[in-house]
Amino acid sequence: MTSQESLLSAFISRQRALLKRERDADIERSSLLLSNCGPKLLEQKGLALLGLGIVGINIGLGGKTLIELERPSAYHTSPVFPPHTLRNGDIARIEANVSSSAAAKKPKKPTGSADKDKDAQAEGVVYKVSETKIVIAVDPSDSSSDDLNLPERCRVVKLANSVTYDRMDRAIDHLERAVLQTSSSSNDKDKSAPPELTPLIQVLMGMQRPSPKLSIPPLQFFDDTLNPSQKEAVRLCLEAPEVACIHGPPGTGKTHTLIEIIRQLISNSSTRVLVCGASNLSVDNILERLLALPVLDNGEKHKLKVTRIGHPARVMAHEGILESTLEVKASKTDQAALAKDVKNELEATLGVLSGKGKGAGKGAKGKPRGAERKKMWEEVKALRKEYRQREGGIVTSVLGESQVVLATCHSSGGRQLRNHQFDVVIIDEATQALEAVCWIPIFKAKKLILAGDPMQLPPTILSLDKDKNKKGSKDKGAGSKGKKDSKTKKPAAEKAKPGEKKGATVNKDLPNDKDGTPPPDSEDDEDSGSESDSAEADAQESPNASTSKPESKSASNKKTATVTYPRPLRPPHTLETTLFDRLEKMYGSSIKRMLEVQYRMHEKICDFPSKTLYEGRLGSDERVKGWLLRDLVLEGNDGGLGGMDEDEAKEVLATPVAFYDTAGCEYFERIEGEDGSDEGSKSNENEAQVVVRWVESMVNAGVKPWQIAVITPYQAQVTLLTTLLRPTYGPELEIGTVDGMQGREKDAVGISLVRSNDKREIGFLKEKRRLNGGNLREFLAINANSFYGCLRSTVAMTRAKRHLCVVGDSSTVIHGGSYLKKWMKWLETNADVRYAGLE
């Protein structure tokens, strides 16, 4: 084996081992839950829906059987489901709804076990879910769920999603076969010819340098309002032969820039673009903006030919979204009528067989049995085959005509896109996607554009939590995600001892690197610098310059070391290292552009993140840099000053950043745990009262509740604040962890930091990406002993547009590592500091 081959093998083995560990952690989490909890408890935890009846059986794309379930009025007073976590794409099982007492009499079988009661259950994917109806798509090729002999009364239980892992594993197998040019990977049985080793794959895997820039004609921007850094990013992406990255800090117009790139790419050629996102929301966000655009084509206005694969997360947001789905488009083709006849026949036969859907005349008890049933199943199989063939032709023609196809990274690996190739693949939110999931669409194109912000939240990794739990980590806040942040400066106590290889404890069970391969990618080549390094060292180099110096390295490195790019491929240290991170490290700034003007925040709100996270280069657009609540209220917020004295109101509204410091007040946190251990979520009653007073002053001064959000990292504090604020201000005032807050912004944002104790302990607030985090995400954290079924929110200082108010105990928070220490110092100097106890 050459040294390059052993390097590639080491990288692939590490990816596989990390993915396996992640899959195991996920399975362990689900099966622990499923085997430990009865159905009632599962429903309470949002993982099951009980007492459902089947109301319809239809056929969806791919010949899948769509089983519709609702809450029958016979069992429930309300048809509305209780709160649950079943979402599109989740794997779920429909099973008999036996009562707990009946189940207790039977010998116990773990609900999550593979040993299935085949007669009374079917496994599938959540296809659609509304307040009152859930549709599960069952794949007929999974023979165990073919017979649909489902019970009268069912429940739906959420299962571990192995499909995602299977697709990622296959992508890594594919990668191995491509880079080593073997006909089979060490992991799979596929003996076909190895996939083409394109220049893109070679660049991504460090086998060749990026090729010289493409020469492109002078650019005519569709949107001439793009700022210079956005235009630069567009140019970089168009000129890059293989790969380009856009670094978009919060509110800098990342999506805006991507839209221009897509328009440029498809404007004058037959270029086809696959646009992927880490989440359905990010895909829909781009789709919505594309649908709003007219495109000039031969002098005439035409809508873009856009197709969305998979089910949109927000169907109602834009009427065109649903119209753009492959499903709806396919149903409108000329060939669709023929397929529809087959589909109707198929649905009718299935209805008879299940005794439920269309064609079921005899009721559940009159379902055909024996030979008659067998014969009907043969018919179903033949009809399904015919339907699939017809439908396959339709799908190919719809996709073939599309200039832009949009899908999540995961769903780009589905049957519909099999054998479809594109010129360019764009991955949005790439800094929140595992590298392996990015490879699913990468194989479908010759060129890759990644967009994201490595300074916001990394992908959620469950296996890191396991490691942390094993190591006795105490804090189980939203930060039970892994801690590693490639840019996070660690406080001295957390740094490795001299000679100790960082990551050694985490990776004990991973395969050793072969001789001669570089050590795993770790934090040791960065971020060991002093606290003050970031801002001043940043001034030395432009992030957009093609340079041989690394960006944001430790102070000493920055001052002395010159790094030669490209740097070799390294096996990842953790799955939190994204493809974006890795490429940045391998090729430096030559393949990346940072967007440098933000359009969201008052410049004061932007100042701290800019200095500490973005090397002081995040500027504010003229229109937003000075905007205050005062302007909002006085200029047509149709309201008076809510009874507040005008001068007083003006003062309240004229402050971009306020800090209520509770240091010395002894406003101590409370730990919400069954056993009172430090494991539980935390709340802070006195601090919550300060937040209430802040909200009161805002509203009294004329700010509307819908213009305000309160964010806190702890679920217990969210609950407390909700109890205190909701009765007065209603649901318009957003509090904490609502998943719909992802990517949102508010005019006034209050952050309640909660932590205050005399031990000076502070847990997951340490993660600086979490504080900056542009995305609020829900996170179900589970460990071996207990289930934290709460939806957590990310504290996001960059959500605020005109006013940010921080409430917390600086004397505790200052011990949360260098980033928080810096933040507390910054607040002391720059914010309007109000000592909570005195006011």
Ligand X SMILES: Nc1ncnc2c1ncn2[C@@H]1O[C@H](COP(=O)(O)OP(=O)(O)OP(=O)(O)O)[C@@H](O)[C@H]1O
- Of residues 350 and 427, the one with the C-beta less far from ligand X: 427
Q: What minimum distance in Å lies between the beta carbon of 223 and ligand X?
A: 7
Binding string, 718-757, against ligand X, x = CB under 6 A? -------------------------x--------------
| Choices 219-227, 375-383, 406-414, 537-545 (CB under 6 A): range interacting with ligand X | 219-227
Among 252, 402, 715, 812, binds ligand X (CB under 6 A): 252
Q: Which of residues 69-128 bind ligand X (CB under 6 A)?
A: none
Site membership for ligand X, residue 825 (CB under 6 A): no
Residue 255 sits in the site that holds ligand X (CB under 6 A): yes
CB-CB contact of 61 with 330 (8 Å): yes
**Residue whose CB is less far from ligand X, 503 or 774:** 774
Question: Nearest residue by C-beta to ligand X?
Answer: 253
Q: What minimum distance in Å lies between the beta carbon of 258 and ligand X?
A: 8
DSSP element (H, E) containing 338: helix 336-354
Q: Tokens 């020469």 sit at which residue?
A: 215
Determine, following the binding rule CB under 6 A, whether residue 277 of this chain makes contact with ligand X.
no
Strand positions, DSSP E, 279-355: 294-297, 300-303, 306-308
* Contacting residue, 225, 298, 560, 677, with ligand X by CB under 6 A: 225
For residues 112 and 159, what is the distance between their CA atoms, to the nearest angstrom? 7
CB of 313 to ligand X, least distance (A): 15
Smallest gap, in angstroms, from Cβ of residue 230 to ligand X?
A: 6
Residue 697 binds ligand X (CB under 6 A): no
Residues 550-609 binding ligand X (CB under 6 A) are: 599
Task: Give whichever of 599 and 788 is closer to ligand X, judged by the CB atom.
Answer: 599
Q: Which among 502, 456, 501, 464 has a CA at the least distance from the CA of 481?
A: 464
413-421 LR contacts (CB < 8 Å, sep 24+): 413/167, 413/170, 413/171, 413/440, 413/441, 414/309, 414/310, 415/62, 416/61, 416/62, 416/309, 416/326, 417/274, 417/309, 417/444, 420/444, 421/272, 421/445
Pick the stretch among 73-81, 223-231, 314-322, 643-651 that binds ligand X (CB under 6 A): 223-231
What tokens does 391 get? Answer: 């439908």
Of 251-259, 636-644, 675-683, 822-830: span binding ligand X (CB under 6 A): 251-259
Q: Give the x-and-dash track for 166-205 against ligand X (CB under 6 A).
A: ----------------------------------------
Looking at residue 325, the DSSP 8-state letter turns out to be B
Q: Which is nearer to ligand X, 228 or 639 (CB)?
A: 228
620 binds ligand X (CB under 6 A): no
Q: CB within 8 A of 800, min separation 6: which ones? A: 601, 602, 605, 745, 746, 747, 748, 749
Strand runs (DSSP E) across 161-319, as ranges? 243-247, 273-277, 294-297, 300-303, 306-308
Smallest distance from ligand X to CB 261, Å = 12
Q: Each residue of 804-833: b (16+ CB within 10 Å) or e?
A: bbbbbbbbbbbbbbbbbbbbbebbeeebbe
Structure tokens that stand for 506 in this block: 């985490």
Residue 452 found at the interface with ligand X (CB under 6 A): no
Q: Please give the Cα distance from 459 to 263 (Å, whole number).
A: 29
**C-alpha count within 13 angstroms, C-beta hemisphere, residue 374:** 2
With respect to ligand X, which residue has the nearer C-beta, 95 or 453? 453
Q: How many residues bind ligand X (CB under 6 A)?
A: 15
Binds ligand X (CB under 6 A): choice among 58, 121, 227, 507: 227
Q: What is the rounded CA–CA span in Å between residue 415 and residue 324?
A: 18
Looking up tokens 């991507």, which residue turns up?
258
List 124, 253, 656, 713, residue binding ligand X (CB under 6 A):
253
How many residues does the structure list for the chain? Answer: 839
Instruction: Report the nearest approach of ligand X to the CB of residue 406 (Å).
Output: 15
From residue 229 to residue 248, the character string flagging contacts with ligand X as x (rule: CB under 6 A) and all else as - is -x-----------------x
Of 722, 725, 702, 542, nearest to 632 by C-alpha is 702
Q: Interacting stretch for ligand X, rule CB under 6 A, among 189-197, 221-229, 568-576, 755-763?
A: 221-229
**Residue 113: HSE in the Cβ half-sphere, 13 Å Cα cutoff:** 10
The binder of ligand X chosen from 210, 250, 571, 773 (CB under 6 A): 250
Q: Among residues 350 and 455, whose Cβ is nearest to ligand X? A: 455
* Nearer to ligand X among residue 226 and residue 733 (C-beta): 226
Q: Least distance (Å) from ligand X to the CB of residue 431?
A: 11
Interhelix angle 3-36/462-470, rounded to 10 degrees, is: 80
What is the longest distance spanned by two Cα atoms in the chain? 86
Residues of this chain that interact with ligand X (CB under 6 A) are 225-227, 230, 248, 250-256, 599, 743, 774
